[in-house]
Amino acid sequence: MKKPTILVTNDDSIHATGIQVLISIARKLGNVIVMAPEYPMSGKSHSITSNTPLRSTLRKQEEGYVEYTCAGTPVDCVKLAQHLFFKEKGPDLVVSGINHGSNASINIIYSGTMGAALESCLCGHPAIGFSLVDYAADADFSYAEPYVCKIMEDVLQNALPQGICLNVNIPCGEIKGIKVCKQAKAFWHDAYDQRVDPHGCDYFWLTGNFVPENAENGDDISALEQGYVSVVPVQHDLTAYSYLSTFEKRMQDVEKR
Amino acid sequence: MKKPTILVTNDDSIHATGIQVLISIARKLGNVIVMAPEYPMSGKSHSITSNTPLRSTLRKQEEGYVEYTCAGTPVDCVKLAQHLFFKEKGPDLVVSGINHGSNASINIIYSGTMGAALESCLCGHPAIGFSLVDYAADADFSYAEPYVCKIMEDVLQNALPQGICLNVNIPCGEIKGIKVCKQAKAFWHDAYDQRVDPHGCDYFWLTGNFVPENAENGDDISALEQGYVSVVPVQHDLTAYSYLSTFEKRMQDVEKR
């Protein structure tokens, strides 16, 4: 049977432990093409590079494995890989991560890891973003490995519905199982650490606290807190459907003004 | 009656025509604080700056008006303005734009203009992103003005439900009215213009075509094509709810492996 082709990317850059773990799992399951950011791209969301050109570097080429870096964002990586390798036929699977830190709940909208997964899904490829909910510098990815592997195998075998990708977050330590979840409500309560440079000018470092709102059974934050891997099927439509009719009435009044 | 406070930002930078038009409208309706990117930030989506510090510059200060720039993304602008001006009480309205080009349909996920609106809404502020569907260098924003003004007045008067902001796109030329819409399905068919620099190295310019999928009555692309202003109420939850139960079954099988 022909081996599947797996595209691997992330947002923590090619130098991160998480992508190395993901590459080693992917190589057991198929032929692997890596297109990963050269530099850390955390928090780059779905951003693209259009005002400057992109560069890409071939780092390694072996039987069943090629590794490129791209001096752009995770979404750039997916778009450039699509252009260079998948003009005729897409990859059988795109995996992004394993991110060093949570992309559960509202973190998804800031996440470069999930930006890459969502972009892949827009290109028509089955895609999964993996994140480890552990912020320690020496975070242990080994607990995550069997779950990452099993979920990848499932998607290779059964694909995903058109327009849907998966946001998979993995708790640190012993794992109780997998829960399919909705995205929890939360926001970041931001602050800035305001400093003065040696020339007397102000500058600001972003800091902040994650604030869950009404965590409830069935959402990804609760699943992770209970020691489960959270799997959220994710799509691109941001329409607030429940408010369409309310706004129709309001906008009719606005027109009359 | 106390004048409302309006925060104005965009992604095309402080130097863009669109934000100047938006500022002039906002100044008629209230006291205005501008925090806009110093440099063009198109396609920056919901990206944030966390690995480097931010700088901000006061450019103008008059009765009822202050204008700052920030050397960051549109979302950075909102977060920094929140920190500097709205610790106690938020603005009465945040407006982002008027973007030079469409943010209808799938463009919303790449858009810095809408990144700023969505972030404001996460901070609990009523927010609107405005975009003009005209790519001409000398795009005429005058047709848009009355609609921008009316929609701002409506939101100042009636606010928005918690967690919802508006994605408003305005066609160029004569406008027939306003339609409340859902986000149309579409994707970008990307290509790269591959070139060789004077040192013999490859570089890649992003190009691409917008591909609408099954445009249908009730979506924003159709409304714009028919000459209407499209208003999409927008929220942050990316969960694909219709697939939750399907995935629950699949993941139960995955666990058993």
pLDDT tens profile A6-49 = 999 999 999 999 999 999 999 999 999 999 999 999 999 999 99
User: Which chain B residues are closer than 8 Å to A250 by Cβ?
Assistant: 154, 158
Phi, psi of B97 (to 5 degrees): 130, -145
Task: Give the HSE-up count for residue B11: Cα atoms under 13 Å, Cβ half-sphere.
Answer: 30
A/B interface, count of CB pairs below 8 Å? 229
Shortest distance, CA B220 to any CA of chain A (angstroms): 10
pLDDT at residue B216, rounded to an integer: 84
- Which residues have C-beta within 8 Å of that of residue A135, sequence separation ≥ 6? A100, A101
Q: Is B158 on the interface with A (CB under 8 A)?
A: yes
pLDDT at residue A214, rounded to an integer: 79
The whole-angstrom separation of Cα B184 and Cα B190 is: 19
pLDDT at residue B256, rounded to an integer: 85
Segment A50-63 shows an average pLDDT of 96
Q: Is A29 on the interface with B (CB under 8 A)?
A: no
The whole-angstrom separation of Cα B96 and Cα B78 is: 10
Interface test with A, best of B194, B213, B249, B251 (most A CBs within 10 A): B251
Q: Which residues of chain B carry a pLDDT beneath 50?
A: none
User: Are B45 and A45 inside 8 Å of each other by CB?
Assistant: yes
pLDDT of residue A257 exceeding 90: no
pLDDT, chain A, mean: 96
User: Which chain A residues are closer than 8 Å to B238 by Cβ?
Assistant: 108-109, 118, 167, 183, 232, 234-236, 238
CB B106 within 8 A of CB A118: no
Q: pTM of the prediction?
A: 0.96
User: Are B233 and A251 inside 8 Å of each other by CB?
Assistant: no
The whole-angstrom separation of Cα B35 and Cα B14 is: 8
pLDDT of residue A1 exceeding 80: no
pLDDT of residue A171 exceeding 90: yes
ipTM value of the model? 0.95
DSSP B54: B
pLDDT of residue A173 exceeding 90: no
Segment A133-151 shows an average pLDDT of 95
Query: DSSP H helical segments within chain B, as ranges?
Result: 17-29, 74-85, 107-110, 112-122, 145-158, 220-225, 244-256
pLDDT of residue A75 exceeding 90: yes
* Integer-rounded Cα radius of gyration of chain A: 20
CA proximity to B71, closest of B104, B35, B95, B106: B35
pLDDT at residue A179, rounded to an integer: 97
